A and B are shown apart, each in its own frame.
Chain A
Amino acid sequence: MRKLLLTICILVNLNSEAQFLLPLQHDTALINQEIICHGNADYSFSSVRNDVGKKLIYGGYIDDAMKGFSFDKHKGINRLGIEAGAEIEYRNYQVNVLKKQRGILLKMGYGNFGSMLYSKDLFGLIFYGNDQYLGSTADFSGSRFRFMSFQKIGFGFIDKKSKSNISLNFYSISRFLAGNIYEGQLFQSAENDSINLLLSGEMNVSKSYPFIKGIGIGIDFDYRFPFEIKENSLAYFQITGRNLGLSYLPSSVTQYAVDSNYVYEGFTFNELFGNVSDFSNGTNILDTLNIAKSDAGGIVLLPGFIQVGKIIDETNKSRFQSFFGMRMYTSLAYSPFLFAGAQWRISDAYRMGVHASYGGYTGIRIGWYSSILIKKFSIGIGTEDVIGTVSNFGRGQSLQLRLRCGL
């Protein structure tokens, strides 16, 4: 019966989703080896409510009421982000590298990162069509998006006591999509007899083959250091970075560049029935809209982040501890993410924490996490967005799972 209740509890948590487990704990306990499995999935919007966001992620019909609520929430510039990935890491503290205090670590994993900055009118065009813009201009200038999928493998060193570590990672890029609309305006006359599309920008799309579109190199690091906040009382701070590096995409990307001011007023009968219109084939469409298609490649930033903050000290037996910090992604769509919270040490084996955050791709979020220690295993589950988890009024969802096994 207890197993059943626990299973139901976990499933309820999973079905409500969650993200980046906050905070990381500082533990100086000496162990020989350690395996850490970590997975997270998170999406968040600055202006889209969950009733729309959930349908976009999980499927379902988005009705006019749902669209209306989200559309009204939109401002001039809006954000969205999505992140999903998993990683497994093996740490060995028995070997000695360079100095005796250093062990080694090996890790592998995959990640998907997407972000977008977009205008309210772009949302309106996508979800309502152009009909509501008759007699006005839909402006989607400044919109940009980026998406990358990668697999990574890395190795590095870890300080046996502080658990500070650094790893060098190699990446295989399996999917890349990026676009910038420098200037984009769609004007349609009120009489619906002309469309004027002003568009300049570019889009890069990775080709279908081969599977590996590019390679990359980057680092993960986790530096922890004590800080005396008052006499005889230390707090541990952490500076961590993940996936900080560059990837190289050879000619595995197709680039579409456009700089066009196209006016369309309908076809003549000769164009329509004589099959001589601008849109009679794909090549003509590109030519008509002045879209240049070419093979492209180059060096792009990996979707990495840096996080600085105070973390929980596992050696501290206090019932309550605070944590706080700031995170920043290498994405223009991501605004500085600030968080602060507290952990309740319910027992030696069970902890629970809550936190509030602001920034990233959205606004204020309330997070929750809990972890349990059973013999050599530590299991954690958490969410960075409780409101999004339990209601349609949120603007995102997140789930993070973490399993740690000390040997």
Chain B
Amino acid sequence: MNIFKLFLLLFVSLILVSCRKEKASWNTDWSAPIVNDTLSLVNLVNDSTIQVNQLGNYELDLTRTLFDLSIADFISIPDTVINHSFVNVVPSLSVPPGFSFVNEIEEHQFDLQGVQLKKIHVSKGEIQIKVSNPLETKAFFVIKLPGVTKDGILFSQTYSVDGGSIANPNTETTILDLSGYDIDLTGQGGGAYNLLQSQLIISSDPSGPSVVLTNSHIFNVEATFKDIKIDYARGYFGNKVLTASETVNIDFLNAVTAGTIDLPNTAIQFDLENGLKADAKATIFSLANTNYSGNQVSLTGAQIGTPIILSAATGSWSTLNPSTEVLNFNSSNSNIEAYLENLGTQHQIAYKIELNPWGNTSGGWNEIFPNSRLRVRLNAQMPLTIAADGLTLRDTFDFDMSQNTNQPHVESGTITLNATNAFPIEANTVLFLLDDQGQILHTLYASDYIASSMEGSVDPNDGLKKAQSLLSFELTKAMVNDLNSIKKVAVQATFNTPNESGTAIQPAAIPEGAFLAVKLHVKFNVKVLL
């Protein structure tokens, strides 16, 4: 019995020895490149045009269309249903085979909300035609739309519909493409507007028997104009007023938190273009921006608040010649420089555009063509010569790199930035590690700053002045211990444009081909647990 106890003791002891009290662990150092990229103006400026001036420096040639109105913004044809019926006036009539009844032309009104159209050209759309035959024998329908032509040929469609009954007429439905049709809306008299005409001819079956036609037999045609788009219209487009106050946000500038910039003499202009053969009047009531600190600057100048008359375009179709007006804001006629240097993130513009401001002075001869536009373009040309004095940008990124300390995890690390800078701008960078409430848990200061190219030397290979910088951020154990609490990382960069001696801020022109080459490496001390 003692032996059994002894063996049991051995077995239990073996199990106890086999149980691990803790994991095996050791520390390792892992290095890897994280970012290898080159930033140039092509990366930074997405939809702007950069060009090189005679001095070999970049300048901004910015052209943006602020708004662009076409025919569809002025005139639209609503879906419209017209009904055309034929009823025999005689109580009872024996109709021989092949006998035809010709109905009179009927006129139907388009409801165009004050617009008086005389002629339109359909670029896209369809007509759905539904005909019903109450006769017991087959009947033939000819549907004509006087004034609706394509290549000079009148719209005319013929249908044969099998026999039905007075109680249950037989119906046929067809959908036809109306693209390319011209529609004359002046009616039978030729002096009206918004009128569509139709005519119906009904024939008995030429090869069928004679049939009795009574006044209870109602032949009906229903034509539905659907999704009509036009690319030409003539008539009077009405006195339309478009008043708006719009806000344009430049999100990138939300990152600015401090500092100033100094721009050279600059100018921006607004090009106004009227491609409609109708007079128009435009007024910019106000243009103001508000920057990161709440400072607001309003653009001032004689052209703010003053109506600009846009005469009707001349010519037609391929010879259309829009009328244009230019609003030019420069340093001598406005405060445009101060306006731009305010680095406004929110721009508010209030304006009014009025069509036919003096009513129907053209005798109903407004015209709009496929290439007619009423639009405003912004043009700005300025050298990229900026003096930055403590201009501070700060942007925040979501961050989620939680780790389990019971598994292999990072204990500390170093982030190294190797930069080659050909921009004449220096940058001091700071990283803020934030919790989910945005509170700063840790701050990582760079060991050095990214030097301006003004501190470097000329590379004979490309003639660019470049400065090399090597800076690092130390990730301490305390920071890594809080890694699970870090939910955001804010990157703050303070830009300056120092002179060569670094003693003063000066405007710096950006040379052609300038770039910032960035190589970001990490070295993590990882504790391995097994």
Chain B associates with chain A: yes
Q: A266-B36, A379-B6, A401-B10 are in contact. Are A59 and B22 (CB under 8 A)?
A: yes
In the bound assembly, the distance between CA atoms of A401 and B360 in angstroms comes to: 113
The stretch among A7-15, A140-148, A208-216 that forms the contact with chain B is: A7-15
Interface pair A129/B33, CB less than 8 Å apart: no
Interface pair A399/B14, CB less than 8 Å apart: yes
Interface centre among B32, B43, B521 (most CB of A within 10 A): B32
B28 contacts the other chain (CB 8 A): yes
Write the chain B residue with the least CB distance to A132: B29
Interface residues of B in 1-35 (CB under 8 A from A): 3, 6-7, 9-10, 13-14, 17-18, 20-35
Interface pair A130/B14, CB less than 8 Å apart: no
Write the chain B residue with the least CB distance to A375: B3
In the bound assembly, the distance between CA atoms of A221 and B30 in angstroms comes to: 50
B153 contacts the other chain (CB 8 A): no
Interface pair A379/B519, CB less than 8 Å apart: no
Q: A194-B33, A266-B36, A267-B36 are in contact. Are A127 and B6 (CB under 8 A)?
A: no
Interface majority SS on A: helix, strand, loop or mixed?
mixed
Q: A129-B526, A269-B37, A374-B3 are in contact. Are A195 and B32 (CB under 8 A)?
A: yes
Write the chain B residue with the least CB distance to A6: B6
Interface residues of B in 389-431 (CB under 8 A from A): 397, 416, 418
In the bound assembly, the distance between CA atoms of A243 and B221 in angstroms comes to: 94
Write the chain B residue with the least CB distance to A17: B17
The stretch among A60-68, A227-235, A332-340, A357-365 that forms the contact with chain B is: A60-68
> Count of B residues near A, CB < 8 Å?
39
Shortest Cβ distance from residue A179 to the other chain B in the assembled complex, whole angstroms: 17
B487 contacts the other chain (CB 8 A): no
Write the chain B residue with the least CB distance to A188: B31
B523 contacts the other chain (CB 8 A): yes
Instruction: Choose from B20, B31, B519 the contact partner of A134 (Cβ within 8 Å).
Output: B31
Instruction: Choose from B10, B23, B24, B28 the contact partner of A10 (Cβ within 8 Å).
Output: B10
Interface pair B14/A62, CB less than 8 Å apart: no
Chain A window 109-140, contacts with chain B (Cβ cutoff 8 Å), 1 for yes, 0 for no: 00000000000000000111111101000000
B520 contacts the other chain (CB 8 A): yes
Instruction: Choose from A11, A67, A128, A379 the contact partner of B7 (Cβ within 8 Å).
Output: A379
Interface pair A41/B31, CB less than 8 Å apart: no
Instruction: Choose from A17, A264, A266 the contact partner of B519 (Cβ within 8 Å).
Output: A266
Q: A14-B17, A268-B37 are in contact. Are A131 and B31 (CB under 8 A)?
A: yes
B55 contacts the other chain (CB 8 A): no
Q: A15-B17, A193-B519 are in contact. Are A403 and B31 (CB under 8 A)?
A: no
Shortest Cβ distance from residue B20 to the other chain A in the assembled complex, whole angstroms: 4
B142 contacts the other chain (CB 8 A): no
In the bound assembly, the distance between CA atoms of A169 and B14 in angstroms comes to: 26
Residues of B contacting A264 in the complex (Cβ-Cβ under 8 angstroms): 32-33
Interface pair B3/A10, CB less than 8 Å apart: no
B530 contacts the other chain (CB 8 A): yes
Interface pair B22/A60, CB less than 8 Å apart: yes
Interface pair A61/B26, CB less than 8 Å apart: yes
B244 contacts the other chain (CB 8 A): no
Q: A15-B17, A58-B21 are in contact. Are A379 and B30 (CB under 8 A)?
A: no
Shortest Cβ distance from residue B402 to the other chain A in the assembled complex, whole angstroms: 18
In the bound assembly, the distance between CA atoms of A377 and B10 in angstroms comes to: 15
A95 contacts the other chain (CB 8 A): no
Interface residues of B in 486-524 (CB under 8 A from A): 519-521, 523
Chain A window 270-287, contacts with chain B (Cβ cutoff 8 Å), 1 for yes, 0 for no: 101100000000000000
Interface pair B33/A265, CB less than 8 Å apart: yes
A23 contacts the other chain (CB 8 A): no
Interface pair A62/B24, CB less than 8 Å apart: yes
Residues of A contacting B32 in the complex (Cβ-Cβ under 8 angstroms): 130, 192, 195, 264, 266
Instruction: Choose from B18, B26, B523 the contact partner of A41 (Cβ within 8 Å).
Output: B18
In the bound assembly, the distance between CA atoms of A310 and B37 in angstroms comes to: 70
Write the chain B residue with the least CB distance to A134: B31
Shortest Cβ distance from residue B89 to the other chain A in the assembled complex, whole angstroms: 76
A100 contacts the other chain (CB 8 A): no
Shortest Cβ distance from residue B32 to the other chain A in the assembled complex, whole angstroms: 6
Write the chain B residue with the least CB distance to A55: B24
Interface pair A60/B24, CB less than 8 Å apart: yes
Interface pair B10/A14, CB less than 8 Å apart: yes
Residues of A contacting B3 in the complex (Cβ-Cβ under 8 angstroms): 374-375, 377, 379
A39 contacts the other chain (CB 8 A): yes
Q: A61-B26, A128-B28, A374-B3 are in contact. Are A266 and B17 (CB under 8 A)?
A: no
Interface pair A39/B26, CB less than 8 Å apart: no
B39 contacts the other chain (CB 8 A): yes
Shortest Cβ distance from residue B462 to the other chain A in the assembled complex, whole angstroms: 20
Instruction: Choose from B22, B36, B523 the contact partner of A131 (Cβ within 8 Å).
Output: B523
Interface pair B29/A129, CB less than 8 Å apart: yes
Residues of A contacting B530 in the complex (Cβ-Cβ under 8 angstroms): 56
Shortest Cβ distance from residue B155 to the other chain A in the assembled complex, whole angstroms: 54
In the bound assembly, the distance between CA atoms of A37 and B28 in angstroms comes to: 43
Residues of A contacting B523 in the complex (Cβ-Cβ under 8 angstroms): 131, 192
Q: Which positions in B face A, CB cutoff 8 Å?
A: 3, 6-7, 9-10, 13-14, 17-18, 20-37, 39, 43, 397, 416, 418, 519-521, 523, 526, 528, 530
Q: Which positions in A face B, CB cutoff 8 Å?
A: 6-7, 10-11, 14-15, 17, 37, 39, 41, 55-64, 67, 126-132, 134, 188, 191-195, 264-270, 272-273, 374-375, 377, 379, 381, 399, 401, 403
Given contacts A67-B26, A194-B33, A268-B37, 9 further A-B contacts (CB under 8 A): A41-B14, A59-B24, A130-B30, A131-B28, A131-B523, A192-B31, A266-B33, A266-B519, A379-B7
9 A-B Cβ contacts within 8 A? A6-B6, A10-B6, A10-B13, A17-B17, A130-B32, A131-B29, A131-B523, A192-B33, A272-B34
Task: Kindly list the 7 A-B residue pairs having the minimum CB-CB distance in the complex, ordered from nearest.
Answer: A266-B36, A129-B28, A266-B33, A131-B29, A62-B26, A59-B22, A129-B29
